């Protein structure tokens, strides 16, 4: 049952007919894993905290650097050298002391990542390398946890939702194959700061939609943004029957 303070804090969400009390309670009772507290993870974490997701698990093995501050808005100049998870935790509790936050300051092995994913309700992938994304995807489908995936580089962004609870949902490996050599990072290719804010905000929106069964999440759709022209494109994604993660022969 929501307290009077919670009813006031979340009143602008609760008044939405798609949300109401039941939706807000769903968020307060949810546990979300955010992997990566950089450009994407910053708006994701801040909006999920502000919206009242009851427990956030933050994973990142990096420290705050000066080059991060151009786009990683959960951190600030006073926290240079601090672990990103600690910096983010301070910001998030300042936004909303009503929630619980767990931090993990290390690069998790595939096995440790899988065990962690088994304990949460939803995963938001805010990483910037293919190896980690493949591990996250495998663990999410193994444990049947929805995965909100986003990426941003230069002036291009993309977002989609993979949901193992929906039998026709593709997975990350239906779109990309292991061994793909496109390990682009912002440090190598650059990125315009508002782009990660846009994509991260959409990731937060999609996470909230999945958790409270609001609207139609981007399952089976890849949303692409060209920030040069501010044009969005939507591509339909199909499940690959031969996919080694979610294909039919691997589900039997």
Q: How many domains does the chain have?
A: 1
Kindly report the CATH number assigned to the domain that includes residue 110: 3.40.50.720
Q: How many CA atoms lie within 13 A of 56 on its CB side?
A: 36
Q: Which residues contact 61 (CB under 8 A, 6 or more apart)?
A: 105, 106, 107
- Residue 12: pLDDT above 70? yes
**Other C-beta atoms within 10 Å of 236: how many?**
8
pLDDT of residue 101: 98
**Per-residue confidence band for 252, with pLDDT thresholds at 50, 70 and 90:** very low
Task: Check: CB of residue 149 under 8 Å from CB of residue 200.
Answer: no
Q: Would you mind telling me the total number of residues written for the chain in this entry?
A: 252
Which whole number is the average pLDDT over 38-50? 98
- pTM of the predicted model, to two decimals? 0.95
List, as one string, the DSSP characters of the chain. ---HHHHHHTHHHHTSTTTHHHHHHHHHT-EEEEE--STTHHHHHHHHHHHT-SEEEEE---B--GGGGGT-TT--GGGTTSBHHHHHHHHHHHH-TTSEEEEE-S---HHHHHHHHTTSSEEEE----HHHHHHHHHHHHHHT--EEEEEEEBTEEEEEEE-TTSTT---HHHHS-TT------HHHH-B-HHHHHHHHHHHHHHHHHHHHT-S---BTEEEEEETTTTEEEEEE----TT-TTTSHHHH-
Domain range for 61 is: 4-251
62 pLDDT band, cuts 50/70/90, is very high
Residue 74: name the closest of 53, 54, 49, 99 by CA. 49
Residues 115-164 have pLDDT tens digits of 999 999 999 999 988 889 999 999 999 999 999 999 999 999 999 999 99
Residue 31 pLDDT more than 80?
Answer: yes
pLDDT in tens, 190-242: 899 999 999 999 999 999 999 999 999 999 999 999 999 999 999 999 999 99
Is residue 64 within 8 A of residue 18, CB to CB? The reply is no
pLDDT of residue 251: 52
**Taking the mean position of all CA atoms in its chain, how far away is CA 122?**
9
């Amino acid at each position: 049952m929501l307290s009077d303070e919670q009813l006031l804090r979340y009143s602008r969400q609760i008044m939405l007919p798609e949300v109401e009390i039941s939706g807000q309670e769903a968020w307060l009772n949810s546990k979300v894993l955010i992997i990566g507290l950089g450009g994407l993870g910053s708006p994701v974490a801040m909006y999920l905290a502000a919206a009242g997701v009851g427990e956030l698990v933050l994973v990142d093995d990096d420290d705050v650097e000066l080059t991060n501050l151009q786009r990683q808005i959960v951190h600030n100049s006073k926290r240079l050298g601090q672990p990103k998870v600690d910096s983010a935790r301070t910001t998030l509790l300042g936004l909303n002391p009503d929630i619980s936050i767990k931090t993990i300051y290390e690069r998790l092995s595939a096995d440790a990542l899988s065990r962690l994913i088994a304990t949460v309700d939803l995963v938001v992938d805010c990483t910037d390398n293919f190896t980690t994304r493949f591990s996250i995807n495998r663990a999410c489908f193994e444990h049947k946890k929805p995965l909100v995936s986003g990426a941003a580089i230069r002036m291009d962004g993309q977002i989609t939702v993979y949901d193992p609870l929906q039998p026709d949902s593709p997975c990350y490996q239906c779109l990309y194959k292991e061994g793909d050599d496109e390990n682009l990072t912002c440090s190598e290719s650059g990125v315009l700061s508002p782009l990660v804010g846009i994509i991260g905000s959409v990731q937060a929106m999609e996470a909230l939609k999945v958790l409270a069964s609001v609207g139609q999440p981007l399952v089976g759709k890849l949303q692409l943004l060209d920030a040069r022209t501010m044009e969005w494109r939507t591509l339909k994604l199909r499940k690959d029957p031969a996919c080694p993660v979610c294909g039919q022969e691997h589900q039997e």
